A and B are shown apart, each in its own frame.
Chain A
Amino acid sequence: MADKRIFEIYRYDPDRDAKPYMQTFEIELEGTERMLLDALMKLKKLDDSIAYRRSCREGVCGSDAMNINGKNGLACLTNMRTLPQKITLRPLPGLPVVRDLIVDMSQFFKQYHSIKPYVVNDTPPPAKERLQSQEDREVLNGLYECILCACCSTACPSFWWNPDKFVGPAGLLAAYRFVADTRDQARDERLDNLEDPYRLFRCHTIMNCTDVCPKGLNPARAIVKLKDMIATRKG
């Protein structure tokens, strides 16, 4: 079934363009393009210079995050039926653009790295696994599944203002994932690392993060828990 769509796509190639511009494409889809990524690939066959990242096409690798009609999301999980005839695509907001829909994610990963995203446990491990109760393991659900797509952090006004000082929702979700892991021994240092007017407390509970997360995770709740832990630990 013919399905005419109008794409407005942010274009910028520093090799050629003095400044960014929006380019309009009209395309007839066949109805077999289930997801936005499928439609983008069809568009790329018409103009091979449209640049975007993509890999797994099933929402687990986190490559194809972009701003879709004003809201951050993954192209591979955005069903074409949920989109209007006119589709405006921009790179994720708040990060430097490398080219077209590709952003420089260095700042995002720098913040992720800053929370020491790994279990710290310096006691010699047992010969087998460290035991963990089912209840303790369950606490990690909703935390460890993050795919680092950056939809949340780049939807957060606090991150836009202070990407160098505010850890951002993705990094804070990860911080809570390690604080909450019973196998981790660095809880106090982790909380010390966040007890700062910017790193954690720049979050003003705007909730954009939770609203856009393509995996249905809730960074805002993790942030509240971190704030609570810091508020109560000295009490």
Chain B
Amino acid sequence: MALTIQKYDAVVVGAGGAGMRCALQLARAGLHVAVLSKVFPTRSHTVAAQGGIGASLGNMEEDNWHYHFYDTVKGGDWLGDQDAIEFMCREAPKVVYELEHMGMPFDRNPDGTIYQRPFGGHSAKYGEKPVPRACAAADRTGHAMLHTLYQQNVRSNTQFFVEWMALDLIRDAEGDVVGITALEMETGEVSIFHAKCVLFATGGAGRIFAASTNAYINTGDGLGMAARAGVPLEDMEFWQFHPTGVHNAGVLLTEGCRGEGAILRNKDGERFMERYAPHLKDLAPRDFVSRCMDQEIKEGRGCGPNRDYIELDLTHLGAETIMKRLPSVHEIGINFANVDVIREPIPVVPTIHYQMGGIPTNIHGQVVVPKNGNPSTVVNGFYAIGECSCVSVHGANRLGTNSLLDLLVFGRAAGDHLIATALSSKAHKPLPADAGDYSLARIAKLDSASGGEYPQDVANDLRRTMQTHAGVFRTQKSMDEGLVKVLAIAERAEHLSLKDKSKVFNTARVEALEVANLMEAAKATMTSAAARHESRGAHTVDDYGDTPEHPLGRNDRDWLRHTLWFSEGNRLEYKPVQMKPLTVDSIPPVKRTF
């Protein structure tokens, strides 16, 4: 069947913070660009980010990018690539100022500068004390940023394809990326987008877990497409549990609560973080705080009738501060916990929040894979940025506020690099003759299948399995069992069927296509996790505990390296961590205390 072919200089998949920052760069340069999104751009998950954007503006107290760099390396438990981290932290002030010039409604200080609040793991003088580094618009920073970026794209006439779901990458015989296939949800038609460059900004796969702060759309579509096209996924064992998801609801309460002074308490009312992190206390990095909370619960000091949650106490902040700085937190408390945070503490538990791993890239956003002995060979025509990518600035644990920063810095950088690439190649590489066949076959299979399982039943089983076997505390046995179960569920996911066969806005079909992507992300996570025999950052395994040789279970001799997972054969390779920054001295690994 002949598909409609649309030709562009570049195709951007995803219109969240990263995709729209990049698209803006491309539109301003006059490139012919299509931006595809499953949802209207301002519905992308960036909209839910609350606390702030990390940048060492120093508006409140003395700060500089060296401190930010150090905090990010240490926060990531030394798995982050130090060249990329240096690049991000140095660029940070510039991209924040740019965003302000675009009209971002940042909160302000009395002198008119951008307001900044403290955040987990961000410190002055190399860990000495918390420093206010998170540039904030109340607790709606992501919303304000996403809308500002959309507005600027409207001004620059960016061409959006709204409610188009990308299906598969198109690679030619040489492995170069020459386009994608995509489904227009309103009509059910599949088209080919033929491009000199394809950039993925498709977000994370947080919906592989049962309890997640993530939006329902976060199904790892970019990861699925990359994995099916033979591109490996990097460091997928590292998933961040945010310390403060609303108990039984999963909805996020920003770390900005603690940045403004909120305290975590156990059933005795004790501020237990003082015991675990004497310097940063409640503002230690997320992996650390989440483990401490879990430890309190495990040792019987959880709150409530079942002793199964921790309380986040904001009551001493006062109504004025809460309503000014944390109005959404107040709203969420009422809506999702029946709690007025001005008057009483709110029940929270560590909840899946962020995927540190993703499609491997360099600092220009170019996708890199192992080839002929070089672990980082560029895949021509293919870029990835934001949560779907792994550059890697977050290492084994991301610091709060570094995600919005990541979107801005690498959205801009990839945009600039892509412009140069696209302009230097005059002609499009030809499409392979069978481009589109694979996607059409996947859809035809769904349309003709009957008697198979309902996609959400399979997805829900997957989510429960991931929750049980890849949680805050992992054991080798549990991960090994989890891997067997996930592979069995993957088998079931091959046999889905839909009752709804309509062409028009068939959301059941979209959900089934999403399940295929969830499966790749989950297999990558479970396989990579079971193979990493150490504790590092968010990957904490009971079997690998604190010893003199391996402080806190981290084994730098054997495991200071990035995982690369390949879908074909469910196979792993490894590549070295870039310990050398661009211009400054490397920060050598030490035991991680706060």
Are A and B genuine complex partners? yes
Interfacial residues, chain A to chain B (CB-CB below 8 A): 13-16, 34, 44-45, 47-49, 51-63, 77, 79, 98-100, 102, 105, 109, 113, 116-119, 121, 125, 127-134, 136-137, 140, 144-145, 147-148, 178, 181, 183-184
Q: Are A113 and B108 in contact (CB under 8 A)?
A: no
| Nearest 7 A/B pairs, CB to CB | A119-B103, A131-B112, A49-B500, A48-B508, A118-B151, A61-B43, A125-B101
Judge whether B42 and A147 touch: CB under 8 Å. yes
Contact B335 A77 (CB under 8 A): yes
Chain B residues whose CB sits within 8 angstroms of the CB of A45 once the complex forms: 454, 456-457
Give the distance to chain A from B120, nearest Cβ to Cβ, in Å: 21
Contact A13 B43 (CB under 8 A): no
- Given A45-B454, A60-B47, A61-B215: A129 touches B113 (CB 8 Å cut-off): yes
Majority secondary structure of chain A interface residues (helix, strand, loop or mixed): loop
How far is A15 from B188 in the complex, measured between Cα atoms in Å? 11
Q: Taking CB as reference atom, which chain B residue is nearest A184? A: B103
Choose among B101, B216, B335, B505 the residue that contacts A51 (Cβ–Cβ < 8 A): B505
- Cβ of B270 within 8 Å of any chain A Cβ, yes or no, is no
Scoring B100, B110, B154 by chain A CB atoms within 10 A of each residue's CB, the highest score goes to: B100
What 10 additional pairs, Cβ within 8 angstroms, besides A15-B502, A52-B507, A105-B40?
A47-B499, A58-B251, A60-B140, A61-B39, A63-B40, A118-B154, A129-B100, A145-B143, A147-B47, A148-B40
Once the chains bind, are B502 and A16 in contact (CB under 8 Å)?
yes
Which of A60, A102, A117, A121 sits near B505, CB closer than 8 Å?
A102
Report Cα–Cα, A186/B201, bound state, in Å: 33
| Chain B residues with CB under 8 A of A144 | 105, 137, 144, 147
User: B343 an interface residue at 8 Å Cβ cutoff?
Assistant: no
Contacting pair B505 A98 (CB below 8 A): yes
CB atoms of B502 and A131 under 8 A apart: no
> What are 25 A-B interface contacts by the 8 Å CB criterion?
A15-B504, A49-B499, A53-B43, A54-B216, A55-B217, A56-B47, A57-B251, A58-B48, A61-B42, A63-B40, A98-B186, A98-B504, A98-B505, A99-B504, A119-B151, A125-B97, A128-B57, A129-B96, A129-B100, A129-B114, A134-B109, A134-B110, A137-B105, A137-B107, A144-B144
Evaluate contact between A63 and B500: CB separation under 8 angstroms: no
B456, A148: Cβ atoms under 8 Å?
A: no
Query: Which residues of chain B from 72 to 126 have any CB-CB distance to chain A below 8 Å in the complex?
Result: 93, 96-97, 100-103, 105-114
Binding site for A on B (CB under 8 A): 39-40, 42-45, 47-48, 57, 93, 96-97, 100-103, 105-114, 137, 140, 143-144, 147, 151-152, 154-155, 186, 215-217, 249, 251-252, 328, 331-332, 335-336, 454, 456-457, 498-500, 502-508, 511
With contacts A148-B42, A183-B103 taken as known, whether A51 is within 8 angstroms of B506 at the C-beta atoms is: yes
Contact B147 A132 (CB under 8 A): no
What residues of chain B lie closer than 8 Å to A62, measured between beta carbons? Answer: 42-43
Q: Is the CB of B39 within 8 A of A55?
A: yes
Q: Is the CB of A15 within 8 A of B110?
A: no
Q: A34-B249, A118-B152, A129-B97 are in contact. Are A60 and B508 (CB under 8 A)?
A: no
Q: Which of B43, B331, B508 contacts A63 (CB 8 A)?
A: B43
Query: A133–B112 contact, CB under 8 A?
Result: yes
- Find chain A residues with CB under 8 A from B102 CB: 118-119
Which of B106, B186, B216 is A129 in contact with, Cβ under 8 Å? B106
CB-CB under 8 A from A145, the residues of chain B are: 140, 143
In the assembled complex, how far is the CB of residue B251 from the closest CB belonging to chain A, in whole angstroms?
5
CA of A45 to CA of B511, assembled, Å: 12
Query: B446 → chain A, closest Cβ, in Å?
Result: 12
**Which residues on B sit within 8 Å (CB–CB) of A116?**
155
**Chain A residue nearest to B457 in the complex (CB):** A45
Chain A proximity of B459: nearest CB distance (Å): 11
From known contacts A13-B504, A61-B47, A129-B100, infer whether A55 and B186 are also in contact, taking CB-CB under 8 Å. Answer: no
In the complex, what distance in Å separates the CA atom of A43 from the CA atom of B500? 14
* Minimum CB–CB distance for B515 against chain A, Å: 13
Please indicate the chain B residues that have their CB under 8 angstroms from the CB of A59 in the complex.
331, 335
* Cα(A141)–Cα(B335), bound, Å: 21
Chain A residue nearest to B93 in the complex (CB): A128
| CB-based contact A130/B101 at 8 Å | yes
Complex CA–CA separation, A52 to B511 (angstroms): 12
Q: Given the complex, which residues of A lie within 8 Å of B506, measured CB to CB?
A: 51
Chain A residues within an 8 Å CB radius of B508: 44, 48-49
Contacts of A49 on B, CB cut-off 8 Å?
A: 499-500, 502, 508
Contacts of B505 in A (CB 8 A): 51, 98-100, 102
A134 and B111 alpha carbons, distance in the complex (Å): 8
Q: Knowing A47-B499, A183-B103 are in contact, say whether A117-B47 is a contact too (CB < 8 A).
A: no
Taking the closest CB of chain A, its distance from the CB of B170, in whole angstroms, is 27
The complex places the Cα of A136 from the Cα of B106 at a distance, in Å, of 11
Q: Considering only CB atoms, which chain B residue lies closest to A57 in the complex?
A: B216
Smallest Cβ distance from B308 to chain A, in angstroms?
16
Are B216 and A118 interface neighbours, CB within 8 A? no
Q: B97 to A55, Cβ gap below 8 A? A: no
Note all chain A residues with C-beta closer than 8 A to B503: 15
Inter-subunit contact A131/B504 (CB<8 Å): no
Separation of A144 and B137 alpha carbons in the complex (Å):
10
Q: Are A117 and B154 in contact (CB under 8 A)?
A: yes
Q: Which residues of A contact B507 (CB under 8 A)?
A: 44, 51-52
Q: Which residues of A contact B106 (CB under 8 A)?
A: 129, 137
Contacts of A77 in B (CB 8 A): 335
